[in-house]
Amino acid sequence: MKILSGSLLAALLFSSTVAQAGVIVGGTRLIYNGGNKESSLSVKNPDKVPYLIQTWVDTTAGGAEKAPFIVTPPLFRLDGEQQNVLRVVRAGGNLSNDKESLYWINVKAIPAGEAKEGQNTLQIAIKNRMKLIYRPQGLKGVPEDVTSQLKWQRSGNSVQVTNPTPFYMNFMEVKVAGKVVKDAMYVAPGSSERFALPAGVSGGNLSWKIINDYGSIGPEHNSSI
């Protein structure tokens, strides 16, 4: 029988420190301070087998648009029980000086495969995708300081949130009348988003919690619609 070697890409989003297929990425998001020359992120391999690690940054629009950040090293071998540091460096770009900008860091891990005669083999590449938030040097404070400024209102069968702050608000949880609002992910600075109301809910008390710079859950905030 002919030995088959294939590659299957599975894209997974994680909401906590990632441990998948043996590779551990040290964080769930990276806040890039505009006053620094670079920012860093650790990648650890607790397994005994080596992995090939590939890294890059995407824009939120995707496609051929190039992100103004590079990750080094972009491709490297991570041996068993070893750790490496990824360095993210700004490479140009006309970024806003008065509000945050959002990009995506991708870390793809491909385990080493060993072909065995008479057996089919399949290599599975696991891709971790996390937020890279660029915070301009002159921007003071953190999102939690101003999340109470979010404005909520009902819009048809949806709840609309308007963010007048210069920060991205990443939601851990949004509830209306005690029921979870699904797909409430985040709202960009100076923008609005709409999320479908839970079935059978038309209004009432609204609560939300955001995720802070370190990936932890902040306190509950309350409003009404």
Band the pLDDT of 154: cuts 50, 70, 90. very high
In this structure, are 38 and 129 located in the same domain? yes
pLDDT tens for 109-130 read: 998 765 555 565 556 778 899 9
Q: Which residues contact 19 (CB under 8 A, 6 or more apart)?
A: none
Position 192 pLDDT exceeds 90: yes
In this structure, are 49 and 104 located in the same domain? yes
Cis, bond preceding 143 (omega within 30 deg of 0): no
CATH code (residue 174): 2.60.40.10
pTM beyond 0.75: yes
Q: Supply the range of the domain harboring residue 69.
A: 9-135
Over residues 35-59, the mean pLDDT reads: 95
In this structure, are 100 and 155 located in the same domain? no
Residue 3 placed within a domain: no
What values do phi and psi take at 104, rounded to 5?
A: -125, 130
Residue 99 placed within a domain: yes
pLDDT score for 14: 32
In this structure, are 101 and 202 located in the same domain? no
pLDDT score for 116: 55
**Strands (E) located in the chain:** 5-13, 18-20, 23-25, 29-33, 38-45, 51-59, 69-72, 75-78, 82-90, 101-111, 121-135, 151-155, 158-163, 169-176, 179-180, 186-187, 191-196, 205-210, 221-224
Residue 155 placed within a domain: yes
Over residues 179-203, the mean pLDDT reads: 96
What are the b/e assignments for 157-170, b being 16+ CB within 10 Å?
Answer: eebbbebebbbbbb
Beta-bridged to residue 161, according to DSSP, are 152, 193
Band the pLDDT of 68: cuts 50, 70, 90. very high
In this structure, are 45 and 115 located in the same domain? yes
Position 63 pLDDT exceeds 70: yes
Residue 195 is encoded by which pair of tokens? 């999320």
